[in-house]
Amino acid sequence: MNPWRCVTIIRWGQTGEISIRAARRLRPKEHSIRIEHQAPTAPARPAALLPLDRTRVPRGTVPLARHLLGKVLVRELDGARVCGRIVETEAYLEDDPACHAYRGMTRRNRTLFLDVGHAYVYLCYGTSYLLNVSSEGEGTGAGVLLRALEPLSGISSLRNGRHVRPLDLTRGPGRLTAALDVDLRHNGIDLFSPGPLWIGSDGTAVKTVGTSTRIGLTKGADAPLRFFLAGNRYLSGSRRQNAHAV
Residues comprising the chain, all counted: 246
Q: How far apart are CA 103 and CA 3, in angstroms?
A: 92
Higher per-residue pLDDT: 239 or 228: 228
Query: Chain-wide mean pLDDT for the chain?
Result: 84
- Tell me, yes or no, whether 99 and 26 share the same domain: no
Whole-number pLDDT of residue 238: 82
Most confident range, picked from 40-49, 165-174, 183-192, 232-241: 183-192
Greatest C-alpha distance within the chain: 96
pLDDT of residue 11: 45
Residues 29 and 96 in one domain: no
169: which DSSP letter?
A: T
| Residue 239 burial (C-beta neighbours within 10 Å; 0-12, 13-18, 19+) | exposed
Q: Are residues 23 and 101 in the same domain?
A: no
Rounded mean pLDDT, 105-132 = 96
- Least Cα distance to 143 among 105, 103, 90 occurs for 90
Does 142 share its domain with 201? yes
Q: What is the pLDDT of residue 198?
A: 98
> What's the confidence (pLDDT) of residue 166?
82
Asked if pLDDT for residue 164 goes beyond 80, the answer is: no
Q: Is residue 114 part of a domain?
A: yes
In this structure, are 215 and 148 located in the same domain? Answer: yes
More confident residue, 43 or 227: 227
**CA atoms 237, 214, 232, 239: torsion sign:** positive
52-104 pLDDT, tens digit each: 999 999 999 999 999 999 999 999 988 889 999 999 999 999 999 999 999 99
> How many domains are there within the chain?
2
187 compared with 8, residue with greater pLDDT: 187
Domain annotation covers residue 45: no
Nearest-angstrom CA–CA distance, 54 and 57: 5
HSE-up of residue 243 (Cα within 13 Å, Cβ side): 4
79 and 111 part of one domain: yes
Structure confidence at residue 110 (pLDDT):
97
Domain ranges, residue 143: 51-229
- 13 pLDDT higher than 50: no
Are 85 and 9 in the same domain? no
**What proportion of the chain, given as a percentage, has pLDDT over 90?**
67
**pLDDT recorded at residue 37:** 42
pLDDT at 20 over 80: no
pLDDT value of residue 161: 56
